Structures are given as structure tokens and as C-alpha cells.
Amino acid sequence: MVDTSEAPLIVSFAVGILAIVIIAKIIGLSIDLLLKFISNSVVGALMLLVVNVFGANIELTILKSLFCGVFGIPGVVILFIYEKFFAG
């Protein structure tokens, strides 16, 4: 059986990326910068999904994905510590 519990998160993440693209086009950000943000967000989301497979239960959002994408594995560790000890 295929686990479809992550499907709404993935769809909402894709809609969020599309919204970022539209807003960036409106305000005139360069395509290179936009692609860097999107690729970092996707990598961050994948890292969060892998961490969630092991039971971390960190909510997947655009900002958390971008944070983890920019800062890499230390960003995931910082986010994990924040979620478990400070976010209640």
C-alpha cells in the first residue's frame, strides 16, 4: 500500500512555490535568484520529509523548507531542536 498522508503537504508545497514564482515575477526578481530559492526549498523539503520518516513530526512549510535548504543539515538540526524544545 502507498502512504498518501504526505500528498496534501506536497500539493500545498507545489502551490506555494507557484505563488512565489508569480509574486517574484510581479516584483521583478531575477530568474537565477528565483531558481536558487526554489531549488533550496525543494532540497529543504526533502530533508524534512526524510527526518519526518524517522518520527520527528516537523510540520512542512515553505519557510521551514527554505531554512533547511539554505542552511543544510545544521538547519535541519536547529529546526528539530527548536520544534522539540521551544515550540511547545
- Which of 23, 13, 18, 20 shows the shortest CA–CA distance to 45? 13
3-state secondary structure of 46: helix
The pLDDT value recorded for residue 2 is 46
Is the CA virtual torsion 55, 59, 62, 63 positive or negative?
A: negative
pLDDT, tens digit (0-9, with 9 covering 90-100), for 7-47: 677 777 778 778 877 877 777 767 777 778 778 878 888 88
Rounded Cα distance between 86 and 68, Å, is 18
Where are the chain's structural domains? 7-86
- What does pTM read for this prediction? 0.61
In contact, 67 and 75? CB cutoff 8 Å? yes
